[in-house]
Structure 1
Amino acid sequence: MASKYDGLARIIIQNVGGKQNINSITHCITRLRFKLKDESKANTDILNQTDGVLQVIQANGQYQVVIGNAVADVYDAVLAVGHLQGAGTVDEDGNPVEEEDTGSGKKNVAAVLIDMISGIMAPTITLLGASGIIKGVLTLLTFFNLLDASSGQYMIWYTVADGFFYFLPVILGYTAAKKFKMNEFTGMALGIALCYPTMVNLTGGEALGTILTGTPFEMSYYTTFFGLPVVFPSSGYTSSVIPIVLCCFVAAKLEKWLNNHLSDMIKAFITPVCVLVIMSSLTYLVIGPVSGVICAVLTLVFEAMFNIPFIGATLGCAVVGAFWQVLVIFGFHWSVIPLGYINIAALGYDFIMPGTFSTPFAQAGALLAVMLRSKDPKTTKIGVPAFISCMFGITEPTIYGINLPKKKPFVAACVAAGIAGALVGALGAKRYVPGGLGLFGLPGYIDAGATGLFSMWVVLVASVIAFVIAFVVTMFIYKKEQ
């Protein structure tokens, strides 16, 4: 497909000495970076006077043609016109930047999706781990009455730790935009729209009406958009991952189309206006109802599963344990969590969430095996704080930083958690008080009545089993070269 930059691309190729004089070509955010066989063959003066070229810089063994904001489009045109093989994207220092995997070749859809999510989450891993550790330490201090939850120290430290999770869509708006090659600040603005207090607080008011009334998928709405109901998932969009990723994926396509069709004189301002207006509207009008329907379907599935006579609890806890981390990745775990609260309110205990208790420990077991197998300093640097976070029930650094990108450790951990969940369900462990995560969730399994510590010991033993199984299996199936 012809590009409006094809003419400029031909001029650039001709004046760097022709295709035969090009060893390689990369680009950063403003420059085409050529490695030429003989720089004396390049016509620098002509390029400096060419419309579309801001400047030519010869430095660090590279012949750099400064283009500006349109550099990615010009780069694609140079590759197409010159039938060249590109060497990818680099940063301003010339260091390689990971390119988006298009899914072509041998990778299947699931592998491409995993690589995409992991790539988007990777820059946040260390701070996710740090936030998890801070939250865990605060829980520990308050549990042993070493710190008052109403004190200024607690509130400030908890704000910075929990705030990172709360405003995660804003941060992922930046990393997803970078992954999909769109304006990073536009991505952040879309993330901000999902966390804006006015929208977050809408569900606290009186509902204007419902959609899908009379069906299991009935959802309330609190405002309208030109008469169309704006429906929110029960958990809202704060701390979510998938909505902003999908939003930026579509927004990147829209932004590219607009930049190709708008005049250079106006696109710097009009493109972000169009992207923000269109994508914020589509996100609230489409993603909300879709997320709500998916959550409702999952709720029905889990309710039906746990109601199967005789084997319901065992089967239900096995499934919820095995797939819990998958649900967490897509944000659909919020469809199950309310069932646990309903059970505690109605029965005084919950028999669903105990099936998930072992999942962070299973991920920790797989993570430890990877660290021991790889002996890679980078893996260890990420893995140690991620392991500590797992003990506190925060698995995101482990999932996105190591286990999910490497795939097999993540699968091993899910299988181990499923086995542990089946044991918990078969023995009838119950949670009596919702509260902490990881080790700090153990007090919630203590019954003040007849069963006493029984449920606590069950989930603790099941967690040890999950840890060991995930560790052993990963040690066998994971190879260092992966």
Structure 2
Amino acid sequence: MKYEKLAKEIIENVGGRENINSVVHCITRLRFKLKDESKANTEVLKDMDDVVTVMKSAGQYQVVIGNQVPDVYKAVVEVGGFSSNAPVEEESGDTNLFNRFIDVISSIFTPILGVLAATGMIKGLNALFVALGWLDTTSGTYQILNAVGDSLFYFFPIFLGYTAIKKFGGSPFIGMAIGAALVYPALSGVTAGEPLYTLFSGTIFESPVFITFLGIPVILMSYASSVIPIILAAFFAAKVENGFKKVVPDVVKAFVVPFATLLVVVPVTFMLIGPIATWAGQLLGQGTMFIFNLSPIIAGLFIGGLWQVFVIFGLHWGLVPIAINNLAVQGSDPILGMMFAASFAQIGAVLAVYLKIKNQKLKTLSVPAFISGIFGVTEPAIYGITLPLKKPFIMSCIGGAVGGAILGFAKSSLFMVGGLGIFGIPTYIHPTEGLNFAFWAVLVSITVAFIIGFVLTYLFGLSKEKTAADAPSPKVVVQKDEALLVGNQIVASPMQGVVKELSELEDAAFSSGALGKGVAIEPTEGKLYAPVSGTVTALFSTKHAVGITADSGAEILIHIGMNTVQLNGKHFTAHVEQGAQIEKGQLLIEFDIEAIKQAGYEVVTPVVITDTEKYTNVNTTTDKKIKWGEPLISLEV
């Protein structure tokens, strides 16, 4: 299995199999629900070659992989022994309502996004072919392509029935059966005749009744492409099913539980859940359109400018169900429509970085990031290029805002869920008007967004030091020193101070290199931080020295002062214990510089790699002054 090793390392560094409640994936990232996020080794994960970055948002621990995430996800599921039908464990009490909502929505929609985008792309291309006169709506080719394009969205309740009830801890096939009942074609013909009577006459909820169930009126709705009814029905069904499981004998449970669940849930859904949820969806659609119509331009500025920020923190999931509901209720959606230009602003910024920056690694990474961004997958561009450089990301947000404002001004809307990037263009074709003004505004918006992202980044997004050959590159600590660029394992400075050669020390064990190669620091602040993520393998009772084994395997000794062992721990305060797992940048020891000096001891601190023989080169900084967290030593294997 290609990604077996990576999967094992990811599972290990999110705290192990026992720390994982659930894992799903979206287009570029693994989304873990962890029991205890503090057990995850975030810095180790970020340093992995096949991991772009790690995000913590909306109650999820997100490991960003990139385009290979489906294959990595399969490996994680197989290596971890996760059951694809296992119910998600209950959230901890400190998870807020918003985080739980985002988690539910992402878990329900994520598994079907790929197919939803694919069918939408087919439908969009079909509409484009008709608009260009290449196909006629009466042709067999058009009808077959339209059937493929409509297949998932028309029967959406069946697919959502599977993913929703699975999220709520029920049996997926029961959820599918409920969804299938909602779109059962024979019921749609019942409304052809005269109604038996009308409920709620004279109100916005006025509903003709054509059939009853055990004498109880049933308000028939059109549930094709609907979202809210099936999600609520699946939630109810999971509760009912689990209730029956507790009372039905095991010998007949396999068929009696589904029988009883469907017999209860389907009629209740038709009589109560479905109509109420449909009315709620209609009100939600009208409400969002009302807000949008108050000021489409401001709405476009807001959504277009902040969309990439929403994606980073997972907040975009709050808008996805609203947009899909609008498509089902209104036939179009401007909400997701206004974010379309953001990805093009992002790749404009990436192109500017590629053309202007001298750092060869950044140049190399910019090419695949740009290509992915063309097709709407912008995580490699965001996390690998623009966000680490800061200003290019801001410039891309400005481009996205202007593009969104243009879309808002033209009231451009999506008419189907389709692909991302250039594959999303056909989804803006009006089903009856074809290539109208709103469609051409889409092309203008993405062009303008791209140009703004490119020009602003090229002119103002990169300072002189960022365009130099030693500019920071993704997944590598910011480099100030050419000597450190050759190493592939970085040890950061554990303290702030003046850098000295080991040979300058009076202690022969350090100055001779007998204890290992490294460098010394004359501290100007009495704080010692972890130079790497790893384990405290030695902490002297006198607290003057600490041994660390990095997650990469490097063994590091840090000795605060010369002969300070004789202070017996006086003037030292340890914040960790031996055996503790530590993260890079964590405060390990505090010490009183002046008190140690007054006691007659030097505070110069050697930082040495005790297993030097494992490395072909141990490179140390040539800077004379250093701050904690800056690169101090690089190790070349």
Q: Which band: TM-score by shorter chain? A: 0.5 to 0.7
Q: Secondary structure at the match of 1:224?
A: strand
Aligned to 2:272: 286
Instruction: Map 1:185-334 to 2 at 5 A.
Output: 185-203=173-191, 205-233=193-221, 236-298=222-284, 301=287, 329-330=321-322, 331-333=324-326
Letter in 2 for 1:297: L
Aligned to 1:49: none
Letter in 2 for 1:262: V
Q: Which has the larger radius of gyration?
A: 2
Q: What is the CA deviation profile of residues 265-320 of structure 1, one whole-angstrom value per residue up to 9, with x for unaligned ones?
A: 2322221111001110121122222124324534664686689xxx6666788899
Query: Whole-Å Cα distance in 1 between the matches of residues 88 and 120 of structure 2?
Result: 29
Aligned to 1:134: 122
Cα shift at 1:183? 2.5
Query: Whole-Å Cα distance in 2 between the matches of residues 202 and 421 of structure 1?
Result: 44
Query: Whole-Å Cα distance in 2 between the matches of residues 213 and 324 of structure 1?
Result: 39
One of 156, 161, 164 as aligned partner of 2:144: 156
Cα shift at 1:154? 2.8
Aligned to 2:165: 177
When residues 198 and 143 of structure 1 are mapped into structure 2, their CA distance, relative to the original with a 3 A threshold, is: same
Instruction: Map 1:364-383 to 2 at 5 A.
Output: 364=343
Query: Whole-Å Cα distance in 1 between the matches of residues 245 and 262 of structure 2?
Result: 14
Query: Whole-Å Cα distance in 2 between the matches of residues 417 and 219 of structure 1?
Result: 43
Does structure 2 retain, via aligned residues, the 8 Å contact 1:295–1:335? Answer: no
**Greater share of helix:** 1
Letter in 2 for 1:290: I
Structure 1 window deviating more from structure 2 (270-279 vs 241-250): it is 241-250
Aligned to 1:13: none
Does structure 2 retain, via aligned residues, the 8 Å contact 1:431–1:446? Answer: no
TM-score by length of 2: 0.42
Cα shift at 1:163? 0.9
Letter in 2 for 1:332: N
Instruction: Map 1:27-46 to 2 at 5 A.
Output: none
When residues 435 and 184 of structure 1 are mapped into structure 2, their CA distance, relative to the original with a 3 A threshold, is: closer
Cα shift at 1:170? 1.7
Query: Whole-Å Cα distance in 1 between the matches of residues 204 and 397 of structure 2?
Result: 29
Letter in 2 for 1:224: T
Does structure 2 retain, via aligned residues, the 8 Å contact 1:101–1:116? Answer: no
Q: What is the CA deviation profile of residues 389-425 of structure 1, one whole-angstrom value per residue up to 9, with x for unaligned ones?
A: x7xxxxxx99xxx9xxxxxxxxxx9999897666566
Instruction: Map 1:374-393 to 2 at 5 A.
Output: 388=375
Does structure 2 retain, via aligned residues, the 8 Å contact 1:445–1:456? Answer: no
Q: CA RMSD in A?
A: 5.6
Instruction: Map 1:43-54 to 2 at 5 A.
Output: none
Query: Whole-Å Cα distance in 2 between the matches of residues 206 and 386 of structure 1?
Result: 54
Does structure 2 retain, via aligned residues, the 8 Å contact 1:445–1:453? Answer: no
Letter in 1 for 2:232: L
When residues 24 and 424 of structure 1 are mapped into structure 2, their CA distance, relative to the original with a 3 A threshold, is: closer
User: Alignment length, in residue pairs?
Assistant: 346
Q: What is the CA deviation profile of residues 153-181 of structure 1, one whole-angstrom value per residue up to 9, with x for unaligned ones?
A: 33223322321222222223223333333
One of 317, 332, 337 as aligned partner of 2:330: 337
Instruction: Map 1:116-131 to 2 at 5 A.
Output: 116-131=104-119
Query: Whole-Å Cα distance in 2 between the matches of residues 24 and 447 of structure 1?
Result: 55
Query: Whole-Å Cα distance in 2 between the matches of residues 319 and 184 of structure 1?
Result: 38
Does structure 1 retain, via aligned residues, the 8 Å contact 2:102–2:317? Answer: no
Aligned to 2:498: none
Query: Whole-Å Cα distance in 2 between the matches of residues 386 and 150 of structure 1?
Result: 36
**Aligned: 1:168 with 2:149:** no
Letter in 2 for 1:359: M
Aligned to 1:104: 92
Cα shift at 1:213? 2.1
When residues 175 and 457 of structure 1 are mapped into structure 2, their CA distance, relative to the original with a 3 A threshold, is: closer
When residues 279 and 457 of structure 1 are mapped into structure 2, their CA distance, relative to the original with a 3 A threshold, is: same
Does structure 2 retain, via aligned residues, the 8 Å contact 1:177–1:187? Answer: yes
Cα shift at 1:329? 0.9
Letter in 1 for 2:139: S
Letter in 1 for 2:97: V
Does structure 2 retain, via aligned residues, the 8 Å contact 1:131–1:160? Answer: yes
TM-score by length of 1: 0.54
Q: Secondary structure at the match of 1:274?
A: helix
Q: What is the CA deviation profile of residues 38-88 of structure 1, one whole-angstrom value per residue up to 9, with x for unaligned ones?
A: xxxxxxxxxxxxxxxxxxxxxxxxxxxxxxxxxxxxxxxxxxxxxxxxxxx
Query: Whole-Å Cα distance in 1 between the matches of residues 276 and 253 of structure 2?
Result: 32
Cα shift at 1:26? 11
Does structure 2 retain, via aligned residues, the 8 Å contact 1:306–1:312? Answer: yes
Query: Whole-Å Cα distance in 2 between the matches of residues 269 and 176 of structure 1?
Result: 21
When residues 114 and 442 of structure 1 are mapped into structure 2, their CA distance, relative to the original with a 3 A threshold, is: closer
